[in-house]
Structure 1
Amino acid sequence: MHTHPFLHSLLLLLLLPLITHCSILSAPQPGFKYDEKLARLSLEYAAASYADNPWPCLRKNNASLVLQVDVPCDAVRDKCWAIIVDAPEHIVVAFQGTSSRTQLITELVESITSPKHQVPGIGSVQRYFFVALESISKHISIKLDKLRETYPKKSVLFTGHSLGGALASLAAAEYANCSGIDPSSLYLVTFGQPRVGNHEYAQSVDRLVPNTWRIVHKYDLVAHVPYCVGFRTCQDFLNHSPYHHGTEVWYPTNMSEHDIYKVCDGLPLDEDASCSNDHLLYTIDDHLRYFDRHVSDYGIDGCPVEPTPPGTRKTKKTKKNQARYRNLNRTLEDMPEMEAIAMITEVAMERWARDYLEYVWDWWHRRNTTGGGEELIRPSW
């Protein structure tokens, strides 16, 4: 069974970094309606980011590749990937997820052991992605600014699947915060995105990037990690708990053409308890497929009109792809599903416990620290 880079992201339970060196801009929230046509188009670009050669996917959609970023993004020099695309109506920035076992281990270790990074006015983010996105955004921001000067009437679309969705969230928030772009010209569409930050971060993204659709397929497991404090629907008064941003669009069936969906605008805001949060059992399979496409295979195969049926894919990976995958020994896809879920849950519990300890610490600190008293030193969990 072949491997897929984003499968390694299933163990990463805190994907929260945001690189922001600008003051927050209070953007008015324009009214918007879910556009399934735009969502399906976004998946084309998200899938293209998985391919060494994204041109077949782009040509199919009358788009062209402007930049493909492939840079070391952490201490062990794992790679981060992104593409910038000139499309008929949009300038698109699409992100790929985790690409190697060492990158998975680095992300996992730093997510569990590193203290959260508090960005003033934004919220709590994780250090690993703070550094990773900073590495990749240096290459993206200059090109994106030039494209906006050339095509001032085109909107900007950030997108990604799985970990790519988390990076798209962080990049969109940073760009909105620093560029002064009209919020009505900025879109964020993600697929199977994990929770990216705490409630403060979610509020910041909602304000900066109001045109956000967070698409969830049926019982997608990754869309529910890291788990909330309390495991079920997240609560906005627990700021140490992970919390989603953006409006969820939930597809409770197979996401085939004309399948039903629900725009989840109930309470709690951004964590509607009546949509995917209303279920306890989740599956990896629903994470792999969006709009009836196996996302990474679809992109690597060139986004064919009739995608290869599951289990019959014969397209050979390029030498570059083979080199990227050759050290991946045993992936979550190779495991029995319940074993994979057990592994994810084990790490999720550790992350949940640290969040809960931080919540109790802050409560105790506020209760026992008085003005003029000695400031207590916060432990690193």
Structure 2
Amino acid sequence: MRSLTFAVSLVSLTFIQARVIVDPLDLATYDDSTARTSFFPLAAAAYSTNPQKCLSAKFSNAQLRRQVNVQCDSGGKNDICSAYTALLPANNAVVLSFRGTQGFLQLIEEADKSVFQSQSQWIAGGKVSKYFGDAFNTLWNAGMKDDVNYLLHTNPTFEVWVTGHSLGGSMASLAASYIVSNQIAPGNKVKLITYGQPRTGNTPFAVAHDAQMAYSYRVTHNRDVVPHIPNEGMEDYKHHKAEVFYKESMKPGASYKVCSSADESNDCSNGLLITASVSDHLTYFTKDVSQWGEAGCN
């Protein structure tokens, strides 16, 4: 009995030290260290004109395959979207990382397009913002498709890691879904972590996305405005699972809440009265995401 008591106490102490509130099923999946030290540098690297700098700084023998830059849509706005593919031999992973918003003006424009412009049918089910869908498809057909197929053909046992910040988070969400839908990789081989992702599609899309992969996490920082764009319910926009909410601090050891029981939950960022911080959107894990990525993740 004393051994059992000690074991329970040890588990309790672990929870206290980490200051984490999670559902039991999430203990084997979301991990702060993985999100902070692996996926986050990969997301930040997409802001650099040379992602290899971040890759070399944070991973052993990482190999950039290609960076792709395209016009996000055909509306003549000159919005430039970017993404890259890479290989992480030491982590047994193929990487797809998508760049987030460049400049506050484009941030506002994203919100406008997501809310007011048309939606398009999505391959897995439901509808998504046409702007996000077009941006992903253009990047995919500009070289990412060939790179992913090649990297997985030559490394068939590797996982697929998909990530992105802001607009990049929405494109990463679509990329992971597309890869599973087209049987490029099975859902149990795909890992998705996004940061400050806007609402990307409608409720049927969220339901379909939830069914495609277990390892799917949307990290949100306190009052970050972008995860609440467009407003919940407008044109039936809704997030997919699962939100990981860091309230206030994102310093090492900071507490966070994993909300996996519903696509959106008042136990996470939806429970805040005010969610209008641009600063919280630009800063994750105490780093200015774009500046840190541009500086080579150093």
Q: TM-score normalised by the shorter chain: which range applies?
A: 0.7 to 0.9
CA distance in structure 1 between the aligned counterparts of 2:267 and 2:107, rounded to whole angstroms: 32
Query: Aligned-pair distance for 1:219?
Result: 1.6
Checking the alignment, whether the CA contact within 8 Å between 1:78 and 1:100 is kept in structure 2 is: no
Determine whether 1:67 maps to 2:71: no
TM-score, reference length from structure 1 = 0.65
Query: Aligned-pair distance for 1:104?
Result: 6.2
CA distance in structure 1 between the aligned counterparts of 2:268 and 2:55, rounded to whole angstroms: 33
Partner of 2:168: 164
Checking the alignment, whether the CA contact within 8 Å between 1:253 and 1:260 is kept in structure 2 is: no
Checking the alignment, whether the CA contact within 8 Å between 2:124 and 2:178 is kept in structure 1 is: no
Query: Aligned-pair distance for 1:116?
Result: 2.3
Partner of 1:284: 278
Query: Aligned-pair distance for 1:93?
Result: 0.5
Q: Secondary structure at the match of 1:84?
A: strand
Partner of 1:52: 49
Checking the alignment, whether the CA contact within 8 Å between 1:210 and 1:246 is kept in structure 2 is: no
Query: Aligned-pair distance for 1:241?
Result: 2.1
CA distance in structure 2 between the aligned counterparts of 1:120 and 1:70, rounded to whole angstroms: 24
CA distance in structure 2 between the aligned counterparts of 1:121 and 1:56, rounded to whole angstroms: 35
Partner of 2:254: 259
Q: Secondary structure at the match of 1:250?
A: strand
Residues 173, 94 of structure 1: CA spacing in aligned structure 2 closer, same or farther, 3 A cutoff? same
Checking the alignment, whether the CA contact within 8 Å between 2:114 and 2:230 is kept in structure 1 is: no
Which structure shows the higher helix fraction?
2
Checking the alignment, whether the CA contact within 8 Å between 1:245 and 1:270 is kept in structure 2 is: yes
| Cα distance per residue 1:339-359 (max 9 Å; x no partner) | xxxxxxxxxxxxxxxxxxxxx
CA distance in structure 2 between the aligned counterparts of 1:123 and 1:55, rounded to whole angstroms: 36
Query: Aligned-pair distance for 1:176?
Result: 0.9
- RMSD of aligned residue pairs (Cα, Å): 2.4
Unaligned 5+ segments in structure 2 are 1-24
CA distance in structure 2 between the aligned counterparts of 1:105 and 1:221, rounded to whole angstroms: 11
| Cα distance per residue 1:233-269 (max 9 Å; x no partner) | xxxxxxx421110211111131111111111124xx1
CA distance in structure 2 between the aligned counterparts of 1:110 and 1:188, rounded to whole angstroms: 24
Query: Aligned-pair distance for 1:145?
Result: 1.1
CA distance in structure 2 between the aligned counterparts of 1:58 and 1:259, rounded to whole angstroms: 25
CA distance in structure 1 between the aligned counterparts of 2:264 and 2:46, rounded to whole angstroms: 28
Query: Aligned-pair distance for 1:114?
Result: 3.1
Checking the alignment, whether the CA contact within 8 Å between 1:250 and 1:263 is kept in structure 2 is: yes
Q: Secondary structure at the match of 1:144?
A: helix
Residues 79, 157 of structure 1: CA spacing in aligned structure 2 closer, same or farther, 3 A cutoff? same
Unaligned 5+ segments in structure 1 are 1-28, 231-239, 305-381
Partner of 1:211: 215
How many residue pairs are counted as aligned between the two chains? 265
Partner of 1:84: 85
Q: Which has the larger radius of gyration?
A: 1
Query: Aligned-pair distance for 1:30?
Result: 11
Q: Residue 290 of structure 2: which of 272, 286, 296 is its match? A: 296
CA distance in structure 1 between the aligned counterparts of 2:272 and 2:205, rounded to whole angstroms: 25
Amino acid at match of 1:35: D
CA distance in structure 2 between the aligned counterparts of 1:168 and 1:241, rounded to whole angstroms: 21
Within-5 A mapping of 1:1-381: 32-40=28-36, 41-60=38-57, 61-62=59-60, 63-75=62-74, 76=76, 77-87=78-88, 88-89=90-91, 90-99=93-102, 107=110, 110-119=113-122, 122-138=125-141, 139-229=143-233, 240-266=235-261, 269-282=262-275, 283-304=277-298
Amino acid at match of 2:137: E
CA distance in structure 1 between the aligned counterparts of 2:265 and 2:184, rounded to whole angstroms: 30
Checking the alignment, whether the CA contact within 8 Å between 1:32 and 1:211 is kept in structure 2 is: no
Residues 160, 182 of structure 1: CA spacing in aligned structure 2 closer, same or farther, 3 A cutoff? same
Amino acid at match of 1:224: H
Which structure shows the higher strand fraction?
2
Checking the alignment, whether the CA contact within 8 Å between 2:160 and 2:191 is kept in structure 1 is: yes
